Chain A
Amino acid sequence: RKEVEQDPGPFNVPEGATVAFNCTYSNSASQSFFWYRQDCRKEPKLLMSVYSSGNEDGRFTAQLNRASQYISLLIRDSKLSDSATYLCVVNRDDKIIFGKGTRLHILP
């Protein structure tokens, strides 16, 4: 089993809709979690950190479920500019593991 797994998508979602995707991790010793966004032919950029209590940044909400070993990202009122690949990142000690990403297409 891969240490970090994501549904590759693509998720094709109409503008204005709500979309959510998950990322599962296999190592219960994982310590910190992040969502990165990567636009086509660009570098990954941090979207948000994921805390046990959950966190929200505008239209974006991230949740961590340690018992089931997954993190989630919810995007409300999706915009065309949200079209990108979303990478899940899991840290454990000195090791950083990137998921392969979930592609999201927002349709006009």
Chain B
Amino acid sequence: NAGVTQTPKFRVLKTGQSMTLLCAQDMNHEYMYWYRQDPGMGLRLIHYSVGEGTTAKGEVPDGYNVSRLKKQNFLLGLESAAPSQTSVYFCASSRPTAGLQETQYFGPGTRLLVL
């Protein structure tokens, strides 16, 4: 099992450009998440999904869109990148039990630099 994988690992964008980050998991997990991590800020939840075809906003959703067309994939889109979106992006997945979250498994991260 590959676990959670993220593509790309690193990207440089110019302000205003768009891109899509891909997250894939092979553990048949229902829940998937996108976080960003910035120095001194910890992990902040951008969007999450509790199942195929469903998405919900997290703590910092502005400037991002997501889609969960297949259970194993969760895409994060930046329509018009801004320097404030320079960050490390982590995807995670989990399988809830009795309404509670189980362990989250994280991908290796995508480092994004917006110039």
Chain A residues packing against B (C-beta within 8 Å): 31-32, 34, 41-46, 49, 87, 89, 91, 93-94, 96, 98-101
Contact = CB atoms under 8 A, between A and B. Distances in A.
A46 B94 CA distance: 12
Contacts of A93: 99-100
Interface stretch (B11-19, B36-44, B68-76, B77-85): B36-44
Given A31-B100, A94-B50, A43 B42 contact: no
B99 A43 contact: no
Interface residues of B, number: 19
Given A43-B108, A45-B106, A93-B99, 7 more contacts: A31-B100, A34-B103, A41-B109, A43-B107, A46-B103, A91-B100, A96-B101
Contacts of A96: 33, 45, 101, 104
Contacts of B99: 93-94
19 contacts: A31-B100, A32-B100, A34-B103, A42-B108, A43-B90, A43-B107, A43-B108, A46-B104, A87-B42, A87-B43, A89-B104, A91-B100, A93-B99, A94-B99, A94-B101, A96-B45, A98-B42, A99-B42, A100-B40
A44 B107 CA distance: 9
B43 A43 contact: no
Nearest to B45: A96
Contact of B109 (A34, A43, A87, A101): A43
By CB atoms of chain A within 10 A, which of B90, B101, B103 has the most?
A: B101
Contacts of B108: 42-43
Contacts of A44: 43, 90, 104, 106
Contacts of A31: 100
Interface in B1-60: 33, 40-43, 45, 50
